[in-house]
Amino acid sequence: MFFVALAQGGSVVLAQYIGADDRKNGEKSLKANLQIVVCIGLVFMLAMLLFKNQFVMLFFGGAEKDVLSVSLDYFSITAMSYPFVALYYGANSLFRVMGNSRITFVSSVIMMLINLVLKYIFIFQMDMGVMGAGLSTLIAMAVIGIILTFRLMSHDNKISLVKPLKPEFDRKMSLRILKVSVPNGIEQGMFQLGALILAGLVSGLGKDAINADQIARNLSPLVHGISAGFNALILTVVGQCIGANDYPEAVRYKKHIIKMNRLFVGAMAIVFIPLTKPLVSIFGVSADAETSAIQILVFYTLGSCMFYPTSFATPSALRGAGDTRFVMIVSASSMFAFRIGMAYLLVYIFHIGVMAIWIAMVSDWVVRSIIFELRFRHGKWQQKKVI
């Protein structure tokens, strides 16, 4: 998720140059964006390889020797994939900004197919076990990342990648990109930390609570999955409007995209709620866990209809304008205060159980929606300058 956030942040700069019809600087920003995400991927890879023993012992120190040995091997292979993961997500974000979502879809499908085929060969035919699982992901990411890089060089693109192997460092361009992408990356890092804290909270609520929570987390993306596409769309469209210095159009498109987002989430909710019980029953858990999972999913679906679009699409619009620092501060503050703080309060003081985690999540969305909508309506984001 960190690399996705980093790539999305950097793509804001390209979106604004496309809006400004500045191909020369667009090419510079595209190249600089790829260089930055890959370099950060290399830094992460080296750090993980150098300190793999410490990381594995920190999280799995109580495991048996054989498990630790396998974990170290898998950790090493996973670490080696980081530069290619960064390249893959970086290239995909750039294609989305240029309006070519077909390539991102096709590349994702091909990557998954390569991964699955190699997993079958390495695990079941060559008996490589966990090593095979890690190696298949590494190869799939590397192949697709390299293919996407070559595809970025095509002159059919709105903006092309020029001389990718020639080392160039544009300090001003890199600072513009980092100014937008780093807050976005930190925000996602805080979100992952929050998810780990909440996972620890759920683990102390018993087996039925854990099962109900996992079922809900597996099925909930069916409700809001389409919204992720609208988040990427609104970032691109608003970014291009800002680049063209057309703020009224940015406001108009933002309102229109939010309405479309609400319609799609509402339609998914109408389809999903009647299917909740049959879908949950597939997991074969206890009656208590099944009942809790159904209650969570119905509550989550209704909350998504009301607050998910403004909680996630509106901050994406602000990111498109370059207002990423404000979004980062509000998102992190709201998460720790409401998603985590309220969850602990509801669990330990009011003894609500696993439903408390999801009530706290929706309360976080409510707060985010109010603050981000007020920020957008007051227009302070229009004072932000990226290019």
Per-residue pLDDT reduced to its tens digit, 119-168? 999 988 888 887 888 899 899 999 999 999 999 998 888 899 888 877 77
- Confidence band of 67 (pLDDT split at 50, 70, 90): low
Residue 311 identity: S
Distance CA 137, CA 315 (A): 32
Find out whether 148 and 88 touch, Cβ atoms under 8 Å: yes
pLDDT tier, 315 (very low <50, low <70, confident <90, very high otherwise) = very high
Closest of 2, 28, 194, 14 to residue 99, by C-alpha: 14
**In the predicted model, what is the mean pLDDT of residues 320-343?**
93
The residue that leads in pLDDT, 225 or 126, is 126
pLDDT in tens, 271-283: 999 999 999 999 9
Q: At 250, is the pLDDT very low, low, confident or very high (cuts 50, 70, 90)?
A: very high
What type of residue is 44? F
Average pLDDT over residues 320-347: 93
Mean pLDDT of the chain: 89
End-to-end CA distance of the chain: 26
Cα–Cα distance between 368 and 370 in angstroms, integer? 6
Q: Report yes or no: 373 and 306 within 8 Å, Cβ to Cβ.
A: no
Q: Please check the confidence at residue 6 and state whether its pLDDT lies above 70.
A: yes
**pLDDT tens-digit map of 13-35:** 999 999 999 999 999 999 999 98
Q: What is the pLDDT of residue 359?
A: 96
Measure the CA–CA gap between 351 and 344, rounded to whole angstroms: 9
Q: Which residues, at least 6 apart from 358, have a Cβ–Cβ distance to it below 8 Å?
A: 216, 296, 299, 300, 303
- State the DSSP H helix or E strand holding residue 78, giving kind and residue range, or none if neither: helix 65-80
More confident residue, 242 or 57: 242
Residue 180: predicted pLDDT: 86
Backbone angles phi, psi at 124, to 5 degrees: -95, -30
What's phi and psi for 363, nearest 5 deg?
-65, -35
Mean of pLDDT values over 266-274: 93
In this predicted structure, which of 178-187, 325-334, 372-381 has the lowest mean pLDDT?
178-187
Burial of 21: CB neighbours in 10 Å, binned 0-12, 13-18, 19+? exposed
Report how far residue 5's alpha carbon sits from residue 188's, in angstroms, rounded to the nearest whole number: 6
Confidence band of 266 (pLDDT split at 50, 70, 90): very high
Q: How confident is the model at residue 284 (pLDDT cuts 50, 70, 90)?
A: confident
pLDDT for 105 equals 87
Whole-number pLDDT of residue 1? 61
Q: How many CA atoms lie within 13 A of 9 on its CB side?
A: 29
Q: How far is CA 366 from the centre of its chain?
A: 20
- pLDDT of the residue at 2: 67
Calculate the alpha carbon distances from 278 to 219, 274, 286 in Å.
12, 8, 14
Q: For a pLDDT cut of 90, what percent of the chain falls above it? A: 55
Position 150, amino acid? F
Say how far apart CA 326 and CA 314 lie, in whole Å.
12
Residue 327 burial (10 A CB sphere; 0-12, 13-18, 19+): buried
The residues near 143 (Cβ < 8 Å, ≥ 6 apart) are: 111, 114
Tokens of 11: 């793509």
